[in-house]
């Protein structure tokens, strides 16, 4: 169960201003007590679909269609990293560690690799909107074992470190990679991905932790996933070639409060002074605003995303964000009043395939 979800429209510092990540002293750099890094990827590779769609790297690695040209490879977690997949894929008592050609695949089949935090997770600085976290574990793709026996050419992301500054960031890792498949070799502390948080969101959890999600990676170097994936590639496909990351961070400990000075003995009570004249009556202050946001509910002409509950951002003219809310069926709930007119809804979660929809209010 979560308490609330927010977009990071104004950068990490703006979103964190009202989140569990906010330290007691806003100028302080605090130590993160626990964290995890989740990497979610759709397992799909369908060349019958239009170019730039239905082709992820995970889907390519495990693809078995296409004869000798198919990768017929695997994707494996190790060294503490864990793997979850579509419902029913692996029973809780027997978690799987390998995705291969027999694993469920398709546009709705998502797998998530989770890296646990390192012994010293990292730090968070709200004043400069910076997050620096280290993780452990490994995720290894092996492709084309028929060309590169016995197991295929390895490409791995090991012990990643994430650096975030506002709405941008990097993922640095070590592992196996190369600019040419089959000629892979170890790499160390290399920036593998650039990270885009411009459409990210933050979810606050009841246990005090927070998740920063929809962090979209793009290739930062051609020396890991080969020169077939140029710098900047990844988000140009739908779904994104390398999926998306989410970081869960435990609420940092508040900075220590200095020790209270020792109270000395109470002195004798002095004589009471003469009463002073009564001062003039002050002006009546204005009533304060309610601390509880008012939820506006609108009934739409049709259900823009079907029957599912979808988190959305309401966009006005020139796609300017106006407010956020949820839509389920024909019911739209938002935090600000909408005037009569036409708006665009842009989904912020992945529960439905459709990304946007137009609605009329009034």
Q: Residue 219: what pLDDT?
A: 97
| Nearest-angstrom CA–CA distance, 148 and 154 | 9
Residue 117: how many CB atoms within 10 A of its CB? 22
Q: Residue 261: what pLDDT?
A: 58
H or E segment at 315?
strand 309-315
| Nearest-angstrom CA–CA distance, 233 and 220 | 9
Q: Residue 222: what pLDDT?
A: 93
Query: Which stretches of the chain score pLDDT less than 70?
Result: 1-28, 91-94, 126-128, 251-262, 264, 285-293, 350-351
Cis peptide before 150 (omega within 30 of 0): yes
**Where do the domains of the chain lie?**
2-249, 296-361
Dihedral angle of Cα 193, 198, 200, 201, to the nearest 10 degrees? 150
pTM comes to: 0.66
Per the listing, tokens 């600085």 go with 125
Is 176 within 8 Å of 184 (Cβ atoms)? Answer: yes
Q: Residue 25: what pLDDT?
A: 39
Q: Residue 12: what pLDDT?
A: 57
| Nearest-angstrom CA–CA distance, 253 and 123 | 11
Mapping DSSP to helix (H, G, I), strand (E, B) and coil, where does residue 100 land?
A: coil
Q: Residue 310: what pLDDT?
A: 85
Nearest alpha carbon to residue 129 among 177, 78, 163, 98: 163
Q: How much is the CA Rg of the chain, to the nearest whole Å?
A: 26
Q: Residue 78: what pLDDT?
A: 96
Of the CA atoms within 13 Å of residue 327, those in its CB half-sphere come to 29
């Amino acid at each position: 169960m979560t308490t609330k979800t927010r977009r990071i429209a104004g950068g990490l510092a703006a979103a964190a201003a009202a989140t569990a990540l906010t330290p007691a002293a806003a100028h302080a750099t605090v130590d993160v007590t626990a964290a995890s890094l989740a990497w979610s990827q759709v397992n799909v590779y369908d060349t019958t679909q239009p170019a730039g769609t239905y082709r992820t790297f995970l889907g390519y690695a495990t693809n078995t269609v296409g004869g000798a040209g198919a990768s017929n490879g695997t994707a494996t977690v190790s060294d503490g990293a864990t793997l979850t997949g579509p419902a029913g894929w692996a029973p809780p008592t027997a978690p799987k560690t390998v995705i291969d050609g027999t694993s469920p695949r398709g546009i709705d089949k998502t797998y998530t690799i989770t890296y646990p935090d390192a012994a010293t997770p990292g730090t968070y600085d709200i004043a400069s909107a910076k997050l620096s976290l280290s993780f452990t574990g490994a995720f290894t793709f092996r492709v084309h074992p028929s060309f590169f026996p016995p197991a295929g050419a390895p490409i791995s992301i090991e012990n990643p470190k994430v650096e975030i500054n506002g709405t941008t960031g990097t993922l640095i890792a070590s592992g196996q990679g190369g600019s040419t498949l089959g000629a892979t070799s170890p790499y160390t502390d290399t920036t593998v991905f650039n990270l885009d948080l411009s459409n990210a969101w933050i979810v606050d959890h009841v246990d005090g932790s927070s998740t920063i999600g929809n962090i979209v990676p793009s290739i930062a170097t051609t020396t890991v996933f080969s020169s077939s994936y140029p710098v900047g590639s990844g988000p140009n496909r739908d779904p994104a070639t390398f999926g998306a990351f989410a970081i869960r961070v435990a609420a940092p400990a508040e900075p220590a409060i200095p020790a209270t000075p020792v109270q000395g003995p109470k002195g004798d009570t002095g004589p009471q002074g003469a009463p002073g004249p009564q001062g003039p009556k002050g002006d009546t202050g204005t009533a304060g605003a309610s601390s509880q946001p008012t939820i506006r509910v609108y009934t739409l002409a049709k259900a823009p995303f079907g029957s599912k509950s979808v988190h959305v951002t309401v966009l006005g003219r020139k796609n300017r964000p106006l407010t956020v809310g949820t839509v389920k069926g024909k019911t739209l709930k938002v935090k600000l009043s909408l005037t009569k007119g036409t708006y665009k809804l842009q989904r912020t979660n992945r529960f439905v395939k459709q990304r946007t929809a137009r609605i009329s209010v009034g």
